[in-house]
Structure 1
Amino acid sequence: MTRAGGLRVLVSGGGIAGLVLAYWLTRHGFCVTVVERAPAPRRTGGHAVDLFRPATTVTERMGVLPRVEERAIGTSRMTVHGEGSRRPVRADLSKIFGAASGRHVEIMRDDVSEIYYDAVRDDVEFLFGDSVTALSPDGEARFENAAPRRFDLVVGADGLHSTVRRLVFGEESRFTAFIGAYFGVLSLPNRADLDGELLLHVGVGRTAGMYGARHLGDARALFLFRSERELGVHHRDVPRQKELLRGAFAGLHADVDRWLDELDGSPAFYFDSLTQLRMDTWSRGRVTLVGDAGYCPGPVVGGGTTLAVVGAYVLAGELARAGGDHERAFAAYERVMAEHVRGSRAVGLSAAKTLIPTSRLGVRGLAQGARLISALPARPARALVRLTTRSARHYDAVTVDDYPPAAAGPGDRGGRTGAPGAGP
């Protein structure tokens, strides 16, 4: 493998995709700067994310899988209340997860971000409390606060509402496809003392759930509701978002009303549309995109975290394999990821339909299907999940190549290149 020669790479965004990318770029000999709008490593509340088989493989190669597994939520039980139904349905989630994927970890977004940050913090330059405002074709970046600097490559890892994508490719609306729903997440006190349990209330066109684990110290409530049209709410208009959420879930259940009562006092709240990004290419000149910035399959429903981890690993590996030749590397990166991205879009559409039923029959089907799978022995349960869910088939089929890290040498940034756990 040709050495990267210490090329300077700017990564915009210090979330999961940006951190995993920064880790692997440093292992391949690149000099990495991460610019992050937040004033410190992100602790924004957020929701649980799923690391399916390929993401756990990458995490294991980073040497941090034991830490990730220690922080796993371990949700093992689910109670489903269908709107208008007298009795709840109880299901064994551990069996469902086991049937869906041979290797799976559910963890809070903040926790896995912290673990990835700890793995790379000593090897990467971080510019916190700043963001990119302009990019030139020759790699010069301008910032809100820092002085302009020139980089060999720039990567947008700044999420669904990516600034880098807007600067290089144009307005977000050119590439987004609304898939008919909105979601909200809030942190709230774990008064029900939930530990490894998910409480779900499901109605036609709306689903609300609450889950927690003792080590979290609080709980999370997740709300999903359908809308035939886009509601025109800006992703930073929090008062309007809360108003929409209250209206969508009025009268579903007393539990849900109590969760919504916590909205104004919640230390962390997030709301957005279920939107897919559909771009023909994620690269232009010296700039490329990774994770939700380039191919978001739909927040909450599409396995975007796994896709982001895999995409970051592949991008860094292909840049190393091409010896820093970005034209060759970006083309290879897009070839490798194209099928995974298409599959994840289908997963997102299917999951949204299942999680937010469109009819009373769908409400009953969600609850009874979960109970049936949890009641079956392991082998038939696995067969049924594989038959009925696209996500299980898609993510179990994703494989990651072997990109050996560069040997340490003069000019490499970071003293841990080639450290134990960095390689496969």
Structure 2
Amino acid sequence: MDILISGASVAGPSLALWLQRYGHRVTVVEKAPALRGGGYAVDFRGRVHLQTLARMGLREALEARATHMGDIAIVDATGRQVAAIPSAVFSGDLEVLRGDLAEVLYAATRERVRYRFGDQITAIAQDAGGVEVTFAGGAPQRFDLVVGADGVHSGVRRLVFGDDAAHKKPLGVYAGIFTMPGTFGLRRSGIMYSEPGRAVSVMSPHGGDQIVSLTFAEPGLEFDHRDVAQQRRIIAERFTGAGWRTPELLEAMAHAEDFWFDSTTQIHLERWSAGRVVLLGDAGYAGGPGGNGTGLAVVGAHVLAGELDRARGDHEAAFGHYERLMRPYVAAGQKQAGGGTDFLVPSTWKKIAQRNRFFKTVRYVPPVRGLFKYLATRTATAFELPEYRLPALV
């Protein structure tokens, strides 16, 4: 079949890898002018995620780029360490930079998948035999299937399922992320500083440049996800007067070329498909921080492609099986992420102190560390990968 995928971050190229192995003709359209590099770290946890990467033939390539992050120091306003967060909380079993993951996926697919950068879908019209797709640039084209793998702000979801606010469940947490020169002397380590309702973290996965995250909690904040200048102002305003080395980080943010800002939002839909169009990853079921989003993207891609192959082109049957298999797994991740606000940005000094005492205790009690690792991976492993036909790697 001729299949169009919207989105060239993680979910889209992961699906493209499987579809071309099964013999389909795949086009990936991405509104960014080129592959997006750098960015924050993403992680894979437990046997389900790692087995999926092995089936994709990518585990070794990703392990070669692993961050191998150590524990993250929690500091007070003077810079004194008061506790440490075990690496398993953020890093899982295999952590890589999002840009590194995108590069590995692109390298594995670019020879047999057509990538169309700097373009996007503007209209979708279906009939019994296919999907007519209109692009911002170039002539309309016809495809057998269309997959929306274009993230929380999915254009495919908006065009096919409507721009319904009920689809989105904001978690009330917002983050600005960027890189800056490594002025903190970190290497495979990080630092976190918290005040009520806001937190700052600095990570240096490989030494050199460091990744800065400025996170705050606020109900009902409205912003334009395309207006970067507005987003910088929001961060600057919310962190005015913050202690530790926050003013230094705000100064670096003002000049960062890779600044990224967004809300933590879950996506909830009654169905993930409509006719010949289906959603994958954050476009259909974003979980938010701690919701196994990257793992759900690669596992979901494997299941969707496997079900299409198993159904021998019957897309309705394939989409139905894909959704029935993935929904409980997605729900577990979303439930876990929904309770993470007080960990990311505790709302009071008392809650900050309670969190810090907990992690201080974990550091010195090995059985508790083991229990915490189990709790950090239990939703990621709550799935049995189906046994699909696995074409040879090409």
Identify whether the pair has TM-score above 0.5, normalized to the shorter chain. Answer: yes
Q: Separation in 2 of the partners of 1:180 and 1:242?
A: 18
Q: Do 2:11 and 2:149's aligned partners in 1 also have CA atoms closer than 8 Å? A: yes
Displacement of 1:119 after TM fit? Answer: 0.8
In structure 2, the residue matched to 1:4 is none
In structure 2, the residue matched to 1:150 is 142
Q: Do 1:82 and 1:363's aligned partners in 2 also have CA atoms closer than 8 Å? A: no
Q: Separation in 2 of the partners of 1:160 and 1:375?
A: 39
Displacement of 1:93 after TM fit? Answer: 2.6
Aligned 1:228-307 pairs, distance under 5 A:
228=219, 230-298=220-288, 300-307=289-296
Q: Separation in 1 of the partners of 2:248 and 2:368?
A: 38
In structure 1, the residue matched to 2:393 is 419
Q: Do 1:76 and 1:197's aligned partners in 2 also have CA atoms closer than 8 Å? A: yes
Displacement of 1:154 after TM fit? Answer: 0.4
Q: Does 1:71 align with 2:61?
A: no
In structure 2, the residue matched to 1:413 is none
Q: Separation in 1 of the partners of 2:316 and 2:383?
A: 25
User: Residues 384 and 51 (structure 1 numbering): CA distance in 2 closer, same or farther, change over 3 Å?
Assistant: closer
Please list the CA deviations of residues 347-387 of structure 1 after superposition, one character each: whole Å capped at 9, or x if unmatched.
1112223111122222012222222222222x44212454x
Q: Separation in 2 of the partners of 1:67 and 1:385?
A: 25
SS in structure 2 at match of 1:235: coil
Q: Does 1:48 align with 2:41?
A: yes
Residue 126 of structure 1 aligns with an amino acid whose one-letter code is Y
Instruction: Work out the number of aligned pairs and report it.
Output: 390
Q: Do 1:373 and 1:385's aligned partners in 2 also have CA atoms closer than 8 Å? A: no
SS in structure 2 at match of 1:262: helix
SS in structure 1 at match of 2:237: helix
Return the match for 2:21 from 27, 52, 55: 27
Q: Do 1:176 and 1:278's aligned partners in 2 also have CA atoms closer than 8 Å? A: yes
Residue 184 of structure 1 aligns with an amino acid whose one-letter code is G
Q: Separation in 2 of the partners of 1:79 and 1:293?
A: 34
SS in structure 1 at match of 2:254: coil
- Larger mean CA deviation between 286-295 and 244-253 belongs to 244-253
Q: Separation in 2 of the partners of 1:174 and 1:26?
A: 35
Please list the CA deviations of residues 25-70 of structure 1 after superposition, one character each: whole Å capped at 9, or x if unmatched.
1112211111111222222x32111112222221111222112111
Q: Does 1:106 align with 2:100?
A: no
Q: Compare relative contact order (CA 8 Å, sep 6+) and give the higher one, 1 or 2.
A: 1
Q: Separation in 2 of the partners of 1:258 and 1:136?
A: 50
SS in structure 2 at match of 1:73: coil
Q: Separation in 1 of the partners of 2:148 and 2:164?
A: 13
Q: Separation in 2 of the partners of 1:303 and 1:384?
A: 16
SS in structure 2 at match of 1:327: helix
In structure 2, the residue matched to 1:3 is none
Q: Do 2:49 and 2:380's aligned partners in 1 also have CA atoms closer than 8 Å? A: no
SS in structure 2 at match of 1:214: coil
Residue 359 of structure 1 aligns with an amino acid whose one-letter code is T
Q: Separation in 1 of the partners of 2:66 and 2:240?
A: 32
Aligned 1:78-117 pairs, distance under 5 A:
78-82=72-76, 87-91=80-84, 93-94=86-87, 96-97=88-89, 104-117=93-106
SS in structure 2 at match of 1:397: coil
Runs of at least 5 residues in structure 1 that lack an aligned partner in the other structure? 1-6, 407-417
Q: Does 1:187 align with 2:179?
A: yes
TM-score, scaled relative to structure 2: 0.94
Q: Do 1:76 and 1:92's aligned partners in 2 also have CA atoms closer than 8 Å? A: no
Please list the CA deviations of residues 235-275 of structure 1 after superposition, one character each: whole Å capped at 9, or x if unmatched.
11212211111222222223121111111211201111111
SS in structure 2 at match of 1:137: strand
Displacement of 1:187 after TM fit? Answer: 1.1
SS in structure 2 at match of 1:394: coil
Runs of at least 5 residues in structure 2 that lack an aligned partner in the other structure? none
Return the match for 1:165 from 153, 157, 161: 157
SS in structure 2 at match of 1:123: coil
Q: Do 2:291 and 2:333's aligned partners in 1 also have CA atoms closer than 8 Å? A: yes
User: Residues 341 and 214 (structure 1 numbering): CA distance in 2 closer, same or farther, change over 3 Å?
Assistant: closer
**Runs ≥4 in structure 1, deviation > 6 angstroms?**
none
SS in structure 2 at match of 1:294: helix
Return the match for 2:331 from 317, 334, 342: 342
- Larger mean CA deviation between 171-180 and 310-319 belongs to 171-180
TM-score, scaled relative to structure 1: 0.87
Q: Separation in 2 of the partners of 1:366 and 1:310?
A: 32
User: Residues 33 and 359 (structure 1 numbering): CA distance in 2 closer, same or farther, change over 3 Å?
Assistant: same
Residue 289 of structure 1 aligns with an amino acid whose one-letter code is L
In structure 1, the residue matched to 2:199 is 207
Displacement of 1:208 after TM fit? Answer: 1.0
In structure 1, the residue matched to 2:55 is 61
In structure 2, the residue matched to 1:415 is none
